[in-house]
Structure 1
Amino acid sequence: MVFSLPDGLPSGRFEQRGPSEVWICDELPDDVGKVWAELLGRAPVTGLQPHLCWPDDPARPADPAAADAVRLEEVLAADFTEYRERRLPFWSDPSSAEPDDTPEDVEPWPHDPGPPFASWPGLAPAGPDTGTGPGADEAAGRTVADLLRTGPYAASLSLVLVPARSSADVPAVIGWTDSPPMPLMGALLRSWEERFGARVVAAYGGELYVSVARPPLDPAHAERLALEHVLSTADNIVDDPPTPFPEYARELVGRTEWRFWWD
């Protein structure tokens, strides 16, 4: 069933995605960051989440309810145990991470000592609410405006409105079809929404963009969050390009945009 659109949007069309219909704009609206925040603010009433994507991306819609069955703490604890066993030799011996065929004129990969945890430390605490930063809706609008201003594929992105409970469910509903295990990713995104005021703003090709209203503000907090990023399975987290875990974690302090990609 075609849903009613909020006022003030440009022209567009409806398109079927599995059991759901989404609306795709013909042209991005002026002042898209402000429009985005307004659309998010109305989402509890309209049930529509704004999102940026490639309208012609291959789509394989999934049921976002699959995330309901994910016991996030248990899954991440088991995943970290497996990940640590696999990576510990590289963390312990810097020479073991060096490719054998590295040319002499190429800088060696930096040694990654890995996360400072011998066992799963638990989910990172919620991000602090300083009372001075933007709310989640405004932070999402800023991220969208920044992505459209600086992103390499900005001109090819379309605004879509997606009937979904939250932005965390949008990738499954629209059928974003890259490599992450979607039930786990959906559970992580929902949890980040609650703890960090995170909002999924775009998913296209192999990339996923998330705005953050309440990021960690100290290194120890950021280390626990960084471990959750690692366990999302995204290829760019510490691996592409090779980035020592402590360095990646430090970069999350105060950071209001998270980018993930899968090769």
Structure 2
Amino acid sequence: MITSDEGAGDLQPLWLSDRPASADLWAQVRGEHAASRLWPLLLDSLDPHDADFRPWGCGELSPERMSSPDEHDAEELLARWWQDYTGTDEDDDQLTAEERLAVTAPFGQTWPGTASARRICADPDGMAEQYARAFLAQNPQARLGLVSAPCGADALTAVGWDGPANYDNDTATFSAVVRGWEHRFGTRVVGVGFSTLHLSVAVPPSALEEALAIAAEHFAFCPDNIWQGAHQDLVAYAEHLIDLNCWEFWWD
């Protein structure tokens, strides 16, 4: 059991395995979630050679200061973040106003609203198991973490994960958005790193128009995916999302 070292020191929000996880074990524990109420996470560290396995092994977690996802409206959060990140600040020395608007074209500064829900015809849990195997193939050092939570989205807050803290240090806001994706697109939280989040997606977009709407949500949720990613404008990023069964986020 891992004790949080960020608060009073008496919360243990995480059970962490002492060795790398297996996809079969992850799938077994996830299948028992309805009864156990323990959500399994494949956890990666900041440095695979770090004996402390930061942030998990050393308790670099902050469950005490998180609010509840119930307190936040996902659509309002995304709209507010979009306005924050598309604003044309004259003092911004990173991008000119024209460059900033080009990144989020065709929407510019206009928030397009959230993407429409898709009919979930695939099995979200089966897709999560497939992605867990792919994730572990790329991250064989990942360990199993168990968190008491009603779903994967809420597990991020319950464990006190601080990955997006440079943008918002209340992880409950991000959990609220991921909850919506669970319902609209059949996503499941599979892997979490120091500042990365890895979701499986049962019903990804199949055409550019719907992919653009989802890409806008991703930009509001994690602008570094585009600002510092391989696809540095919304259209290129949206094309990348078409038929992609995993969404991966990284905050600087």
* Residue number among 111, 114, 117 corresponding to 1:126 in the alignment: 117
Note the 1:18-97 alignment, pairs <5 A: 19-28=11-20, 32-53=22-43, 54=45, 55-57=53-55, 58-62=60-64, 66-86=68-88, 93=98
In the TM superposition, residue 81 of structure 1 has moved relative to its aligned partner by 3.0
**What corresponds to 1:231 in structure 2?**
220
TM-score (norm 1): 0.75
User: 1: CA distance between counterparts of 2:242 and 2:138?
Assistant: 22
**What corresponds to 1:104 in structure 2?**
none
In the TM superposition, residue 60 of structure 1 has moved relative to its aligned partner by 1.8
Change (3 A) 1:86 1:67: farther
**What corresponds to 2:124 in structure 1?**
136
**What corresponds to 1:158 in structure 2?**
143
Q: 1:15 aligns to what SS in structure 2?
A: coil
In the TM superposition, residue 262 of structure 1 has moved relative to its aligned partner by 1.3
Change (3 A) 1:60 1:78: closer
In the TM superposition, residue 220 of structure 1 has moved relative to its aligned partner by 0.9
Tell whether 2:139 aligns with 1:148: no
Q: 1:27 aligns to what SS in structure 2?
A: strand
In the TM superposition, residue 27 of structure 1 has moved relative to its aligned partner by 3.1
User: 1: CA distance between counterparts of 2:2 and 2:81?
Assistant: 37
RMSD (CA atoms): 2.8
Percent identical pairs in the alignment equals: 28
Q: For residues 111-135 of structure 1, what are the alpha-carbon distances to aligned partners after superposition, in whole Å with 9 as ceiling and x for unaligned?
A: 9452322632221112343x4x4x1
Q: 1:86 aligns to what SS in structure 2?
A: coil
Tell whether 2:12 aligns with 1:15: no
Q: Which runs of 5+ in 1 are unaligned?
A: 1-13, 98-110
Q: 2:226 aligns to what SS in structure 1?
A: coil
Q: Which runs of 5+ in 2 are unaligned?
A: 5-9, 46-52
User: 2: CA distance between counterparts of 1:141 and 1:63?
Assistant: 32
Q: For residues 137-186 of structure 1, what are the alpha-carbon distances to aligned partners after superposition, in whole Å with 9 as ceiling and x for unaligned?
A: 121111111111123xx32x210111111100122222222234212211
Amino acid in the other structure paired with 1:148 = L
